[in-house]
Structure formats: C-alpha cells, structure tokens
C-alpha cells in the first residue's frame, strides 16, 4: 500500500438497521474482509453520519470495517431526533451492534465528536477495544464548547460574524440557546435556515484552506439539520458527561495502544486537547500534521490515519 493515498472506495458487503430503543433504529454497514480484524468507525458531529468514503482509510484485505450512523444521524431513523439521544445511549448502541455482528473485540476509530465517543466507549468497555485511532480530539470540556461558539471567530472572523449575524442582535450574547430554540422548532421555515447557518459556520472553519465542496456538502438540508440540531442538543447538555470526565477516566485506557492524528492548525478542535490526552495516556502516539486543519479529508490528516491503521496490522 503506497503511503501517499487512500484505499479505493469499496462497496458495503452487508447493511441493515438495528432497532435499539424505540423510536430509534441505527443504520449499519460493513465491508472489507469478513474474516479480518474488526474496526468500528465512529463519525463526528454528533449528527454528521457516515459515507462510503469513510472505508477508504482501511485496507479491505485486512480489516472488517463496520460503519454505523448514530441515533438521529445519516440513515438512522428517525432523522434528527433528540429524544432518548445521549452519550450513554450511544455507547450502549455500539455494544448492541458489536453483539449483533458477533464481534468479540475491535479497533475503534473516530474523529472530532467521534474521538469523544471512542474514548467514552473505551473507558466504559476497555476489554472490547483492541486499539484506538483518533483524529481532531475533542474532550467535551466546557472550554472547548465555548471555543466553538466564540473562539473560532479569532481565526475565522467572517464566518463567526455570519454565525452571530443570523440571530437578532439581542440574542447574540448566548448563541447556543438562541440557535437551539430554532433548531428544535418543528417548523422547517424556522429550523431549516438555522441549521444551514450553524453548519456553514462549522464547515468554513474546518479546513486549513477554503473548501467550497465541503461547505456545499454539509449545508444540504438533509445533512445540515441532523448535524446542527444534534450538536446543539449535546452542547446544551454538556455532552452528557461530567466536566473533565474523559481525561479523569483515562487510566482505564492503560494497555490499549492508541494513535492520535491531529492537525497543527485545527481551529475546530485545537491541538491542546490532543496534547492533554497524550499526557495522561502513555500507550498513545501523537502525530501533529504540520499543514492541516480539522477535516479528515485534508491530505496530511488522511494519510496519517491510513498510516496508523497500517501500523496496527500487527494487532489482533
């Protein structure tokens, strides 16, 4: 496998929906080698969903790659639903899917919010995790949420001005509450424009260089609403975790090998979180990509993730 590209896009070999807790059914699919080392891919957001391109980080001759859309995201139903949607339930869904597919242990791979969920899952079920591969680490701390809402504007002032400018002037001091009220409103004329404004802000801050395709993709209505509504839902509920919980429980990762691939200029999830995690997890290798931001589609990030999975081919 050349170390300068991703693997070709592969079709899913199997797919389905798993009923987890009414009204939720989570979509899943798997590809690659049915006898290979299992990998659980966790998407970001919350609410971003998966795509076939997410299998391109993994050698299909070696890995059995399982993708699933978390509650309310992607092809899971009902779409954009906040009812019975929290971190602990998402962890339970991962376990339900593992049992449904007859998998004993797997490598867990996640970026952004997916890194948070991967850590939370590994800390709850360390015996089920062969290794962790994380990108754009987000530790769910209050400071990180505040950075998303306000701090990113220090580097992307135009995007932040548009994000706040969507709201009436009197509501701009608390944009999370103002957006959340609109995003959970059942009227598409209310939640639709708010979802587009929220998602555009995130997309415009996610890459080192402007990426028009990325912005257009994430602001499509069927993508924007689950992403924006679920992110806001998790943010207003402190990600359903105690402050600092993921770092406080990092001792549970002892013995689990890990790889962190982090963009040096990641403005959405700044590198300090990856640094803080690596400081308390001796079994991890932190790779700072010098010419990348947040997105997994940036060349240096993508190749770093492929290389991490190549190194972990020795694990079973």
- Tokens 């693997």 identify what position? 7
Question: What is the rounded CA–CA span in Å between residue 133 and residue 305?
Answer: 8
Among candidates 10, 17, 21, 72, which has minimal Cα distance to 47? 72
Question: What is the rounded CA–CA span in Å between residue 291 and residue 203?
Answer: 18
- Catalytic positions are 112, 266, 294
Question: What is the rounded CA–CA span in Å between residue 255 and residue 51?
Answer: 31
Q: What is the dihedral angle through the alpha carbons of 96, 54, 118, 21, rounded to the nearest 10 degrees? A: -30
State whether residue 31 is helix, strand or coil: strand
- Tokens 């992607």 identify what position? 74
CB contact at 8 A, 128 and 105: yes
Question: What is the rounded CA–CA span in Å between residue 67 and residue 99?
Answer: 15
Residue 235 neighbours by CB distance under 10 Å? 21
Which residues in 188-213 are b (16+ Cβ under 10 Å) and which e? eeebbebbbbbbbbbbbbbbbeebee
DSSP run (H or E) holding 246: helix 245-248
- Give the CA count within 13 Å in the CB-facing half-sphere of 136: 26
CA angle 83, 85, 91 (to 5 degrees): 155
């Amino acid at each position: 496998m050349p170390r300068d590209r991703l693997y070709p896009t592969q079709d899913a070999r199997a797919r389905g929906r798993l009923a987890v807790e009414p009204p939720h059914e989570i979509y899943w699919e798997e590809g690659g080698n049915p006898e290979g080392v299992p990998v659980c891919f966790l998407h970001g957001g919350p609410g971003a969903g998966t795509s076939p391109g997410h299998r391109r980080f993994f050698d299909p001759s070696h890995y059995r790659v399982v993708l699933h859309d978390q509650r309310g995201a992607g092809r899971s139903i009902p779409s954009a639903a906040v009812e019975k949607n929290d971190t602990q339930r998402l962890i339970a869904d991962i376990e339900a899917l593992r049992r449904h597919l007859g998998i004993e242990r797997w490598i867990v791979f996640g970026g952004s919010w997916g890194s948070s969920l991967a850590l939370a899952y590994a800390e709850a079920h360390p015996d089920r995790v062969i290794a962790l591969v994380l990108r754009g680490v987000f530790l769910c701390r209050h400071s990180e949420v505040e950075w998303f809402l306000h701090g990113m504007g220090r580097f992307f002032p135009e995007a932040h001005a548009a994000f706040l400018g969507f709201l009436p002037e009197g509501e701009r001091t608390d944009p999370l509450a103002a957006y959340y009220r609109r995003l959970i409103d059942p009227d598409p004329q209310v939640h639709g424009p708010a979802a587009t404004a929220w998602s555009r802000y995130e997309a415009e801050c996610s890459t080192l260089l402007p990426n028009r395709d990325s912005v257009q993709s994430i602001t499509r209505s069927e993508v924007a609403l689950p992403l924006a509504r679920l992110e806001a839902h998790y943010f207003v509920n402190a990600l359903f975790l105690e402050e600092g919980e993921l770092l406080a429980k990092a001792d549970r990762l002892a013995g689990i090998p890990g790889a962190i691939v982090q963009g040096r200029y990641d403005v959405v999830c700044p590198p300090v979180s990856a640094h803080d995690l690596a400081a308390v997890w001796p079994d991890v290798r932190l790779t700072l990509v010098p010419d990348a931001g947040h997105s997994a589609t940036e060349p240096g990030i993508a190749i770093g993730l492929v290389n991490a999975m190549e190194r972990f081919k020795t694990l079973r």
